[in-house]
Copies of this chain bind each other. A is one copy, B any other.
């Protein structure tokens, strides 16, 4: 009987130690395994930069520029220093004229003299039958790379507290007025 009690106690002790160690690790553990996304979404957004002649269609405008440039057309030196504010329609396919499911709103800027690179801070404001809420992004966008990864740093509504990575691809462009970006969003932290 004594031995049996001790047996059960031993099992209990081992389990408790296991529990405690796992619980302590849960308190400290910050290194997580990269796993499958908890949500994956793909969208297109369409940017039409104001150029002095397209006010009706323009979805963005140059609002800052270095002293050597101007705000009517993207400047020299790879547009270095140009800052653009945008309100771009988001569509599910690559057609500018498809019904918008939301707007991409915020700013981007060109930040390098030698090659086209950009930096983005913006939000997806989604308002469709499928999704209502916002997704917030920041990150560097080295435009000459085929795909570029930026961070999803938060969200609200259907995207409450989301985090993840968004991969940008330049899907099309016409001159320096129309740009279409494909955005593949993979969320790795979701709440529900």
Contact = CB atoms under 8 A, between A and B. Distances in A.
A81 B163 CA distance: 28
Contacts of A64: 63-64, 83, 85
A107 B82 CA distance: 11
A66 B173 CA distance: 22
Q: Name the residue among A64, A72, A188 with the largest chain B CB count within 10 angstroms.
A: A64
Q: Name the residue among A80, A105, A164 with the largest chain B CB count within 10 angstroms.
A: A105
Interface stretch (A22-30, A90-98, A177-185): A22-30
A32 to B, nearest CB: 5
Contacts of A35: 27-28, 30
A6 to B, nearest CB: 11
13 contacts: A7-B8, A9-B11, A15-B15, A30-B35, A32-B189, A50-B67, A62-B67, A63-B109, A64-B83, A87-B113, A123-B139, A134-B139, A136-B151
Given A33-B192, A85-B109, 10 more contacts: A7-B8, A16-B18, A67-B71, A85-B111, A105-B119, A106-B109, A106-B119, A134-B149, A138-B138, A154-B165
